[in-house]
Amino acid sequence: MEPQTPTRRSQRFQPTATPTGKINNKSILECVWASEPIYVRQTNPEIDLVPEEQEEKIREKKRGGSDDEEEEEELETVFYDALRMKRKAPAYKGAKRVHARAGKLEERTYRLGDTVLIETDSLYLMRRPPSIGVIVAMWQTRQKDDDSQADQSNMRVRVHWFLRPTELASIRAKREHQEHEIYYSLSTRAIVSPSVILSRCDVSGSLPSPIKKEKPNWLYVPVKRRRASPLKKGTKASSSSDEEDQQDTSEDDEEVVEEDESSNEKFYCRLAVDSRRGVFYDFDWERHRRDASIRAKPPVNNSGPSSKEHDAFNWGEGSAWDVVEKPLKNRPIAPKTEMSSGRRRKQDDLDDVISESEADDSDEFREHDSGSDSDEGLIADSENGVASGEEQDDDDGPLREPRTPSRKRKRNQDATTPRRIKRSKTLVQPTPHSKAALARRRKSVTSASPRKHKTAPTFAIRFPEQSLTFKSSMAHLPKDPWLRAMHALHVGSRPDSLPCREEEYKRVLRCVGELLEEGSGGCVYISGVPGTGKTATVHTVVKELKRMAENSEINPFSYVEINGLKIPEPSAAYNLLWEGVSGHDVETEGHLRIGAKESLKALMRHFTSGNRGPGGHACVVLMDELDQLVTPKQDVVYNFFNWPTLVGSKLVVIAVANTMDLPERVMTGRVRSRLGMIRINFQPYTRDQLEKIVEARLASAKEGLDDDDDNEEGAVVKAKVVIAPDAIKFAAMTVSRITGDARRVLDICRRAVELVKSAKGTVKAPHVKEVVQVMQNSPIAAYLRELSFHERLMLASLIKCVKREGVEEIKWSEVQHQHLTYMNVLTSENDSTRKPTPAELLMVLDSLVSSRAVVVEDGVAVARKPEGDRRMLLNIEQSEVERVLSDVGGQRWKNVLTT
């Protein structure tokens, strides 16, 4: 069978993740199989090999090695029932008190169906509690008829995950949980090596009555890292039962310590969970464990190691341990005259007994059944032959007539074969709280989209109302309309509802919400000039999504915000994303002290290996100021746009940039292809929209003033007009002609209120005009007006290169070329037409650098670069430079700077 090429798993232009198949744990002295082979079949690469081994086979096939079909025929997979591991208990450096067995040998035997603690993290200074899983398969791949003992690196274990409450999505509907309570995942499995199994644990389906508050069996203590190995494990797991000082132990007095089952850590499980949807199900772990062990037995009709029969060829993938949601079944209507009320109650009780173990014939098994439609109906009745027999004995004469014909009852007797039992799965029902949440989701979907055939999940769009947070920020202010207006007009005061951005809000919310509901990854590119409400709209969308997730109206998710202006370098974005993906709590534990390379390796291993740990929930990432994250190699933006395209990544990236055509002008083809087609552009505000924004802010400032004050002063204060309508119109008209930046019109109005605050007057158009003149006559504006022609021309050339390239750091050679080009366009009658020499252009640049208007790259490494490769950066606000140069230069300069 030819292995399929993994989707979007190319290693080109990106580092290789640490392979899961490589074993580097030196504390394991022996790891061997502890049983005879229980089943042998031909190797199925899709379920028997880890992703690194699959990619290695693909590379070998491309290199033109041996015939791939013949090589697969020679490989076989041997399954076992138990493995024995002998490891040396490590001496934990940096810990004052350690395990009493440190330095001694521990021998443990693990069997199918055992619940174990598994180490899933390796990049934390403070080790997190290990994950929990149940062993569903053990195997090794080897050449045909090779009876040699397997090497430790070739041994594989497949586990089905449990989830701790801390491994669920951070933004979800909160629910109370018991101490040491865990949840069984529906179908989340992973292939691990035996070296990551720490110990056995006990999982019970019933809550122990007296809960003793004992010290935890595992303590996680930090260990000093060595600089040479930043990925080296920083902590070890130690037992706290014996608190003795560390003692030097030599290899001569090593003693093999047998496992003490009473010291196993104990957990409690009574619920299963769909971590992607945040739905909980009533679950009987002990019964499921017993039934799954029976269903997971090897096929009895084995036709040999090379058999490609579906049941035999796919055996060992662990699907028998999956649980599925019980579907709504349509029961046939029996004659009312023949069925008594007592008979109905007995039948309902019987259905409840059968429902826990009846088969799931609606999914993967239906396409492999060779029988007729009536044959599919046998699976549900075949799970409880004894119950059917008891039902037949209790039936009276009149009740036998509407029953199933005898031929089907005969099939029921044959339906208890292992083939029928093996194909069944455990069915579970949602808890009452989850049922209500699912009903609300279905209701919102129905009301939002009444069409019968929907191509994608949708939900009703709800516009946010004024939150208590914004109201409380206004409540502490005195009842002075001018102070309240100044507070509301401040740029940092963001109301929950943004006027004039309703359509953009709906588009962003629908795009991100549908990706979360589908459980798929994707990219949403948002562009627009500064001050058009891009970031504020996204924040409002994320706030609404959080509310929906906490009310179980949408799938749970984690949220990460990355601002290109707030991180020291673009590669630092890897650290922030890894903290969000791994579930690290930054507020309580602080940021992870690891490098960007280690975070990148962990992210690559998380997204490309297919083993994403127990959680597997969605993650929403806001990449604000994307322009600052674009590097010459473009590796950061490529990785962030490539990871959502990988199968099962569940990563949603919202990229916000200031230019609409940034991908076409700056990004290479491989980056643009990952970006996708979801693009939303924010147009600059018009004059009417700017007026509505200012009026909405002023209206919110009056909400805290009550009409029913004790005296008439309150009503008079509330009726006081702080800014006249003509003043708002004049400010909006002035800003809309230049940039359409809402922040600038808010700043103008706020400064105008400051002018009239002492006199308790109303802002008129002359006050706004005075503020505009003061802002235009700022020290920066005065400096720009006094610049020479070539200095102004160099600044215009630098701005043109920034807009063309999409990045703020521009090479000196490009600015020189643009400067000479503008000499033919922007030269007036009073200016010289002679083009300056390179030396003269350097003198102009030195003049701008000395006044700190431009910053040039400097340093020892830069000195070895050619002169034209040095990068320069504009150190003044770009919009201010464009406005002043347009006023000084005239219409031609304005046309050049605005394009």
What single string gives the DSSP state of each residue in 14-62?
Answer: SPPPPPTT----TTEEEEEE-S---EEEE--HHHHS-HHHHHHHHHHHH
Q: Are the CB atoms for 157 and 114 separated by under 8 Å?
A: no
- Residue 554: CB atoms within 10 Å: 27
Query: At residue 648, does pLDDT exceed 90?
Result: no
pLDDT at residue 364 in the model: 37
Is it the case that residue 11 has pLDDT exceeding 50?
no
Q: 252: pLDDT confidence band, cut at 50, 70 and 90?
A: very low
Q: What is the dihedral of CA 244, 250, 256, 258, to 10 degrees?
A: 10
The answer to whether 387 touches 353, Cβ cutoff 8 Å, is yes
Q: How confident is the model at residue 466 (pLDDT cuts 50, 70, 90)?
A: low
> Are the beta carbons of 685 and 736 closer than 8 angstroms?
yes
Determine contact, residues 342/373, Cβ cutoff 8 Å: no
DSSP 465: P
Could you tell me which of 320, 807, 883, 269 has the C-alpha nearest to residue 564? 807
Structure-block tokens of residue 155: 């041994």
pLDDT confidence of 593, banded at 50, 70, 90? confident
How large a percentage of the chain has pLDDT more than 90?
A: 25
Does position 583 have pLDDT exceeding 90, yes or no?
Answer: no
Question: Please, is 175 exposed, middle or buried when counting C-beta atoms within 10 Å of its C-beta (0-12, 13-18, 19+)?
Answer: middle
Q: What pLDDT band is residue 713 in, cutting at 50, 70 and 90?
A: low
The whole-number pLDDT of residue 361 equals: 37
- The more confident residue out of 210 and 204 is 204
User: What pLDDT is attached to residue 329?
Assistant: 56
Nearest residue to 880 (alpha-carbon basis) of 751, 767, 747, 789:
747
Q: What is the DSSP string of 357-376?
A: T---TTSTTGGG--S-HHHH
Distances (CA, A) of 478 to 62, 142, 473, 835: 75, 79, 11, 62
- Cα distance between residue 133 and residue 160, in whole Å: 5
390 or 112: whose pLDDT is higher? 112
What is the tens place of the pLDDT at every residue in 44-60? 888 888 877 877 777 77
What is the pLDDT averaged over residues 401-423?
A: 45
pLDDT value of position 315: 87
Give me the pLDDT at residue 437, please. Answer: 84
Residue-wise pLDDT for 877-890, tens only, equals 888 898 888 888 88
Average the pLDDT over each of 295-299, 534-538, 651-655, 828-832 and give the range with the smallest value: 828-832
pLDDT band at 370 (very low <50, low <70, confident <90, very high): very low
Give burial (CB, 10 Å; 0-12/13-18/19+) of 320. Answer: buried
pLDDT value, residue 239: 39
Residue type, 241: S
Tell how far CA 92 is from the center of its chain.
34
Specify the higher pLDDT residue, 198 or 777: 198
Confidence class for position 589, pLDDT limits 50, 70, 90: confident
Look at residue 687 in the predicted model and tell me its pLDDT.
93
Split at pLDDT 50, 70, 90, the class of 409 is: very low
Gap between the Cα atoms of 426 and 291, Å rounded: 8
Count of Cβ atoms closer than 10 Å to residue 170 Cβ = 17
pLDDT value, residue 393: 39
- Identify the bridge partners of residue 132 per DSSP, sorted by sequence position: 117
**Comparing C-alpha atoms, which of 267, 274, 113 is closest to residue 187?**
274
Binning pLDDT at 50, 70 and 90, where does residue 471 land? low
* Most confident of the following: 124-138, 257-271, 375-389, 842-856: 842-856
> Residues 550-565: what's their mean pLDDT?
91
Phi-psi region of 94 (alpha: psi -120 to 50; beta: other; left: phi over 0): left
Determine the pLDDT at residue 888: 87
What tokens appear for 798 in the block? 């630098």
> Phi and psi for 503 in degrees, rounded to 5?
-65, -45
Vertex 747: Cα angle to 741 and 751 (nearest 5): 155
8 Å CB contact between 517 and 484: no
According to the model, what pLDDT value does residue 388 have? 36
Average pLDDT (384-404) is: 40
Give the type of residue at 52.
E
What's the CA gap between 99 and 803, in Å, rounded? 62
Mode of pairing for the β-strands spanning 651-657 and 522-528: parallel
Categorize the per-residue pLDDT at 202 as very low, low, confident or very high, splitting at 50, 70 and 90.
very high
Q: What's the token pair of residue 24? A: 């580097």
Amino acid at 230: P
Task: Please check the confidence at residue 760 and state whether its pLDDT lies above 90.
Answer: no
pLDDT band (50, 70, 90) for residue 480: confident
Q: End-to-end alpha-carbon separation of the chain, Å? A: 58
* Per-residue pLDDT at 298 exceeds 90: no
For the residues of 311-358, what is the DSSP string, one character each? HHHTTTS-GGG-EEEPPPP-PPPPPTTT--HHHHHHHHHHHHHHHTT-
| Of the listed ranges 277-291, 312-326, 382-396, the one predicted with least confidence | 382-396
Q: Is the pLDDT of residue 244 over 50?
A: no
Residue 199 tokens read as: 């110990």
Give the CA angle between residues 30, 31, 36 to the nearest 5°. Answer: 130
* Other residues' Cβ atoms within 10 Å of the Cβ of residue 276: 22
Is 80 exceeded by the pLDDT of residue 161?
A: yes
Residues in the chain, overall count? 899
**Residue-wise DSSP of 789-800:** HHHHHHHHHHHH
What is the residue-wise DSSP string for 600-664?
A: HHHHHHHHHSS--TTT--EEEEEEESGGGG--SS-HHHHHHHHGGGSTT--EEEEEEES-TTHHH
pLDDT attached to residue 539: 92
The pLDDT confidence band at residue 456, using thresholds 50, 70 and 90, is very low
Quick one: pLDDT band at residue 410, thresholds 50, 70, 90? very low
Closest CA to 379 of 361, 397, 400, 395: 361
Asked if pLDDT for residue 682 goes beyond 90, the answer is: yes
Most confident listed range (86-90, 580-584, 706-710): 580-584
Answer for the pair 265, 218: CB distance below 8 angstroms, yes or no.
Answer: yes
CA atoms of 74 and 70, how far apart (whole Å)? 6
C-beta separation of 99 from 92 below 8 A: yes
pLDDT at 511: 93
- Point out the least confidently predicted range of 119-128, 322-331, 393-402: 393-402
Among the residues of 109-152, which ranges form H helices? none
In this predicted structure, what is the pLDDT of residue 224? 42
Give me the mean pLDDT over the 301-305 stretch: 48
Mean pLDDT, residues 689-700 = 90
CA distances for 122 relative to 77, 85, 239, 560, 677, angstroms = 30, 21, 19, 21, 36
Q: Round to whole Å and give the CA distance between 426 and 326.
A: 9
Of 288, 283, 311, 287, the C-alpha closest to 423 is 311
pLDDT digits (tens, 9 = 90+) for 657-675: 988 878 887 788 888 888 8
Lowest mean pLDDT among 253-262, 575-584, 731-740: 253-262
Nearest to 130 by CA among 44, 235, 204, 27: 235
> Given its phi and psi angles, is residue 246 left (phi above 0), alpha (psi -120 to 50 degrees) or beta?
beta
**Average pLDDT for the chain:** 75
Which of helix, strand or coil describes residue 10?
coil
Q: Which residues of 194-221 are buried (b: 16+ CB within 10 A; e: fewer)?
A: bbbbbbbbebeeeeeeeeeeeeebbbbb
